[in-house]
A and B are shown apart, each in its own frame.
Chain A
């Protein structure tokens, strides 16, 4: 690799949004003919960096050099003119148009004042063949698999310009074979001297394809590393903000032995549950009065497990035993009838109903279980709402306040109150403390511990390791949509969790 062939050099770029410093003196150096991984957890600033680079956001300070020249973009269109193409997670193609049309849309070759279809289709098949792909370019894009669509999008990007390709989580909806196909194309592009910036959450993939890695955390630049020289454990430590020096690099096999938990009977016994494309087969037991944590990086399959157990997504294989009896959970309604409860990660879209009042938000799940014709009286509603407002210390002027006027932490408490009102046996909490302030966080953690003491089985999902460690009796560690290992008792330690995530051996 030519060390001097620097395509993009980002130097000390900062970007602030009201109340947040999204990027703080970030550096990034992308060379021609390399695949450069951009890593970081949620809120690290990866997307902001890409948007600043491609001209979607103006930067506040710092400079960006493109092939050694200072360069500043005011719109994504200009980025394309400079040879910079970005592929976002959602594929930006028009499904109903043909592959060829999608590749040349907006730049159609004209002939006698009309579009020259012959040339478009001819050029498109040539361009597609460059990626060792052989498909009919006159077919609509929607008739092909997501992976092929991804490659069509890449073809389009390359046809527009071919110096820098930014791939923002291109593999998140692909299966293994499709990822392999994509990687083959990426390697070929690399040989052609194109600089590729690769954003992903999959650790295995980063080590498979990238040459160097830049790590961001909370908007700050953590470092740039050669992939081959960076042990996995250190990469994870950098991403999570732990000191890699404190870890012993020994294997953890001795420490991850499983202990039988002290508390009571098994509530849920999940056997070889699998949903293709979202979660590989896994086993999981959840006991009464126990907090089971799911630890892992973003996209490791934590939320997917929650959705499977609550019946939002249906499994393709495997069984769930509830109190020892085989149970099919085919819908949230079914799950609720078994006294399950689920606080979703996406509070605004899936949790609260913004326009309704605090009281209505709290009683809705209970009312839904009671059915339409057994309404809770106004007084009963107020009783329930006031009870939980007091119990969870929800800060609201009254129970008839619209939920959208509460702070994030209080909204989260309203959702928890909603489920507690249904007196559940099994509570799934997906990132219950995300985006809420420290005080509210501690309160919710305390609440979780209290509830489990009362005999409630809890599945606790969080991307903050400290929190998982503090709250959970047992922790299942996930990576790349697999449960790798289970830790309990003494073995619950940050080091252990991180080493499991970093371990190369995927077979358990």
Chain B
């Protein structure tokens, strides 16, 4: 494919606008926020606003990766925030099993493997529940996952008995605040998840099947794609991503806060996926969702460093989401310029 063709290709067109939005925000900071691009190396670790943005965005990026696939099948997973809370609550309880009974002693120090695998197992289970409701029973995704969105936080509260379970567990805390290769460990986790997801969807037939199911599930079934199986797996994967995000948050703050962990993050994830250019039911781009998350996070950081009251950031967020969504709409762009849309070949 020649360079010109690539510039006109569908994939590039879809990524163009989110990338430009991100560049725009960064440029703004370049001019108006002193030291925004400054990166310091201390003890072989990178520090600076950019690293900070990526690190803070890590949990939502994980959610967005899972959400992207769910979105592509024509669904949505509202329960990811609640699954984060469950996952964190379980992890904390594994570390301090008797804390909720008022016992402050830790008892036996739990192995990192257990602290990680038990919450992730239940996250997978949560995803399986969503998947069964959507793919097998056939409930509307928005309603099916609403169940766990509401009930999940209750389950997390039950696990922690309504308390905030604080703990110390060095190996586990590394997940939230450790460094690897100079980068915060959450960023490494995101890179890993992203790479695995990319390989799994684009180096196998899976990505195409997901897009086919989302764009036309009947036709997909008629050509022998296991549409239920794949839809089910996608929700399970989304649950897994949410569980992982929950572990990061929990390990970072060294506590399980069933009330606030992951609160409203499902909305951020959905916004990131939409900003990133994934269609609801059809084409998806995991990379776009990562860019989308970065847009949201860098915007939040920018607003905060400008000294705007935190309560107002949501309004700015809403404004930017509307703007990016509008820019992505071909019809809207055509209102301004017909040339921007590129040539459209119609043989019909």
Contacts from A to B (Cβ < 8 Å): 310, 312, 332-333, 336-337, 342, 344, 349-356, 360, 364-365, 367-376, 395-397, 400-402, 405-408, 410, 418
Report 9 cross-chain contacts, Cβ distance below 8 Å, ordered by A residue. A349-B219, A353-B212, A353-B219, A353-B220, A356-B208, A370-B205, A372-B206, A376-B205, A397-B345
- The reply to whether A401 and B345 contact each other, CB–CB distance below 8 Å, is yes
B323 in contact (CB, < 8 A): no
CB distance from A337 to the nearest CB of B (A): 8
- The reply to whether A336 and B224 contact each other, CB–CB distance below 8 Å, is yes
CB distance from A487 to the nearest CB of B (A): 30
Closest A residue, CB atoms, query B344: A405
- The reply to whether A406 and B348 contact each other, CB–CB distance below 8 Å, is yes
B203 in contact (CB, < 8 A): yes
CB-CB under 8 A from A332, the residues of chain B are 221-224
- The reply to whether B282 and A365 contact each other, CB–CB distance below 8 Å, is no
- The reply to whether B347 and A405 contact each other, CB–CB distance below 8 Å, is yes
- The reply to whether B218 and A349 contact each other, CB–CB distance below 8 Å, is yes
CB-CB under 8 A from A418, the residues of chain B are 223
- The reply to whether A356 and B222 contact each other, CB–CB distance below 8 Å, is no
CB-CB under 8 A from B208, the residues of chain A are 356, 360, 364, 367
- The reply to whether A405 and B212 contact each other, CB–CB distance below 8 Å, is no
CB-CB under 8 A from B21, the residues of chain A are none
- The reply to whether A406 and B215 contact each other, CB–CB distance below 8 Å, is no
CB-CB under 8 A from A336, the residues of chain B are 223-224
B209 in contact (CB, < 8 A): yes
- The reply to whether B224 and A408 contact each other, CB–CB distance below 8 Å, is no
B283 in contact (CB, < 8 A): yes
Give Cα A408 to B348, complex, Å: 7
Contacts from B to A (Cβ < 8 Å): 9-10, 203-206, 208-209, 211-212, 215-216, 218-226, 279, 282-283, 344-348
Give Cα A312 to B222, complex, Å: 8
Give Cα A110 to B142, complex, Å: 38
Give Cα A395 to B346, complex, Å: 11
CB distance from A331 to the nearest CB of B (A): 8
Known: A364-B212, A372-B206. A350 touches B348 (CB 8 A): no
CB distance from A439 to the nearest CB of B (A): 14
CB distance from B196 to the nearest CB of A (A): 14
Give Cα A405 to B346, complex, Å: 5
CB distance from A472 to the nearest CB of B (A): 24
CB distance from B278 to the nearest CB of A (A): 12
Contact partner, B216, options A337, A353, A370, A401, Cβ 8 Å: A353
- The reply to whether A375 and B226 contact each other, CB–CB distance below 8 Å, is no
Give Cα A332 to B226, complex, Å: 10
CB-CB under 8 A from B206, the residues of chain A are 372
Known: A395-B347, A408-B348. A333 touches B224 (CB 8 A): yes
Closest 3 CB pairs of A and B: A336-B224, A365-B223, A407-B348
CB-CB under 8 A from B211, the residues of chain A are 353, 355-356, 360
Give Cα A364 to B283, complex, Å: 15
- The reply to whether A407 and B221 contact each other, CB–CB distance below 8 Å, is no
- The reply to whether B345 and A405 contact each other, CB–CB distance below 8 Å, is yes
Known: A360-B208, A367-B205. A355 touches B345 (CB 8 A): no
CB-CB under 8 A from B216, the residues of chain A are 349-350, 352-354
CB distance from A234 to the nearest CB of B (A): 39
- The reply to whether B222 and A350 contact each other, CB–CB distance below 8 Å, is yes
Give Cα A397 to B279, complex, Å: 24
Closest A residue, CB atoms, query B345: A397
Give Cα A264 to B223, complex, Å: 28
CB-CB under 8 A from B346, the residues of chain A are 405
Closest A residue, CB atoms, query B348: A407
Known: A350-B218, A356-B215. A368 touches B225 (CB 8 A): yes
Give Cα A371 to B224, complex, Å: 10
CB distance from A343 to the nearest CB of B (A): 9
Closest A residue, CB atoms, query B221: A332
CB distance from A312 to the nearest CB of B (A): 7
- The reply to whether B224 and A368 contact each other, CB–CB distance below 8 Å, is yes
CB-CB under 8 A from B344, the residues of chain A are 405
CB distance from A189 to the nearest CB of B (A): 38
Give Cα A349 to B222, complex, Å: 11
Known: A356-B212, A375-B204. A351 touches B347 (CB 8 A): no
Contact partner, A364, options B10, B203, B223, Cβ 8 Å: B223
- The reply to whether A400 and B204 contact each other, CB–CB distance below 8 Å, is no
CB-CB under 8 A from B283, the residues of chain A are 355
CB distance from B153 to the nearest CB of A (A): 30
Closest A residue, CB atoms, query B281: A355
- The reply to whether B9 and A350 contact each other, CB–CB distance below 8 Å, is no
Contact partner, A342, options B204, B222, B345, B348, Cβ 8 Å: B222
CB-CB under 8 A from A353, the residues of chain B are 211-212, 215-216, 219-220
CB distance from A466 to the nearest CB of B (A): 26
Give Cα A310 to B211, complex, Å: 24
CB-CB under 8 A from B205, the residues of chain A are 367-368, 370-376
Give Cα A374 to B206, complex, Å: 10
- The reply to whether A355 and B348 contact each other, CB–CB distance below 8 Å, is no
Give Cα A410 to B345, complex, Å: 14
